[in-house]
């Protein structure tokens, strides 16, 4: 997983490479553990995928992006600028 656009003013892209098709859910957490954004679970095929996100309504700070494929959970931090 990689994040394009971090640091960001709110809009960024999460890039993920799946070795096999799976159900995928993306969540964004604030530094205090609150879920600020959560995608619907969606079926993704094997290969590269990009997911555009917007958290421009949130206060500036550090956030954590988490992708759950059902068998693997990946997390990466990002910075939201004021």
User: pTM higher than 0.95 for the full model?
Assistant: no
Q: Which range marks the domain in which residue 15 is found?
A: 2-80
Q: How many Å apart are CA 80 and CA 25, to the nearest integer? A: 21
Confidence band of 81 (pLDDT split at 50, 70, 90)? very high
Question: What is the per-residue pLDDT for 42?
Answer: 94
Instruction: Give the burial class of 70: count Cβ atoms within 10 A of its Cβ; 0-12 exposed, 13-18 middle, 19 or more buried.
Output: exposed
- Provide the CATH number for the domain around residue 52: 2.60.40.1930
Question: What is the per-residue pLDDT for 14?
Answer: 94
The answer, yes or no, to whether residue 1 has pLDDT greater than 90, is no
Question: What is the per-residue pLDDT for 27?
Answer: 97
Number of domains into which the chain is organized: 1
The b/e string for 39-64 (b: 16+ C-beta within 10 A; e otherwise) is eeeeebeeeeeebebebeeeeeeebe
Mean pLDDT of 45-66: 95
């Amino acid at each position: 997983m990689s994040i394009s656009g971090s640091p960001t003013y709110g809009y960024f892209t999460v890039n993920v490479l799946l070795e096999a098709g799976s159900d995928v859910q993306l969540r964004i957490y604030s530094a205090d553990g609150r879920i600020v954004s959560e995608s619907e679970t969606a079926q993704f095929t094997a290969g590269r995928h990009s997911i555009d996100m917007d958290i421009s309504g949130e206060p500036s700070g550090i956030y954590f992006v988490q992708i759950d494929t059902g068998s693997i959970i990946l997390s990466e931090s990002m910075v939201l600028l004021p």
